[in-house]
Amino acid sequence: MISLVNLILELANYIGIIAFAISGSMKGIKKGMDLLGVLVLGFSTALGGGITADILLGIKPPTNLVYLPYPLTALLASFLTFLFYKMFTNVGKPLLYADAIGLGAFTASGASLAYSIDPSPLLVIMIGTITAVGGGVIRDMLSNEVPVILTREFYATAVIIGSGIYFLLRYEGESNYYDIIISFLITTVLRIIAMKLKWELPKVTNT
């Protein structure tokens, strides 16, 4: 059972890396970047959140820079996006689901890593969130734009809820594997429902 959970999470992780790398490299192409810029944006979007989380937690060097399968997957996905850009413009909808799966997997793995280092509720939520959405923030900042997660959609909020639920379950003494899988599923499902129903957070109007 544990190995099945591991397998599902690992698979979800790779789906996330690929979806995030495609999103980053497409942004780079739209911004008129060259091949290097496209690879950097794909890599940063897929792995920059995890690298930032590792820096905050004091894990050095960051796992995403020394464990090769993750970065190679991100770079390969970015390179293929560069080569076959026009084909990728037609996969918007499936890509959003892949992105939601990756979002859940990144949230659960980030929250779990933070808990193992310091079981502080704020740290677990922050690191879960940064792991999942930090890459997108880096992508937007390198593209000279206000990070999209700060302005609209119910995206980071799903991650915050998923990380918080992870903390509560783990704190209550659940097995770590169930905590992870539940946090992963809740984040992903919340994100998909939010897309379907076009949920938005409130804004201050008339400013």
Contact flag: residue 151 with a copy of itself (CB under 8 A): yes
**147: preceding bond cis by omega (within 30 degrees):** no
Q: How far is the CB of 5 from a copy of itself (least distance, A)?
A: 27
Among 6, 87, 94, 152, binds a copy of itself (CB under 8 A): 152
Contact between residue 149 and residue 133 where contact means Cβ atoms under 8 Å apart = yes
Contact flag: residue 192 with a copy of itself (CB under 8 A): no
Contact flag: residue 145 with a copy of itself (CB under 8 A): yes
| Residues of this chain, 66-95, that bind a copy of itself according to CB under 8 A | 66, 68, 71, 82, 85
Rounded CA-CA distance 73/80 in Å is: 11
Q: Residue 87: is it exposed, middle or buried by C-beta count within 10 angstroms (0-12/13-18/19+)?
A: exposed
Contacts of 75 (CB under 8 A, 6+ apart): 21, 39, 42, 43
Rounded CA-CA distance 71/121 in Å is: 29
Nearer to a copy of itself, 125 or 181 (CB): 125
**Which of these, 64, 146, 164, lies nearest to 108 by C-alpha position?**
164
Contact flag: residue 150 with a copy of itself (CB under 8 A): yes
Pick the piece of the chain touching a copy of itself (CB under 8 A) from 5-13, 22-30, 90-98, 163-171.
22-30
Ramachandran angles phi, psi of 183, nearest 5°: -60, -45
Among 11, 141, 171, 175, binds a copy of itself (CB under 8 A): 141
Give the residues lining the site for a copy of itself (CB under 8 A): 28-38, 40-41, 51, 55-58, 60-62, 65-66, 68, 71, 82, 85, 114, 117-118, 120-123, 126-127, 137, 141-147, 149-152, 156-157, 160, 200-204, 207
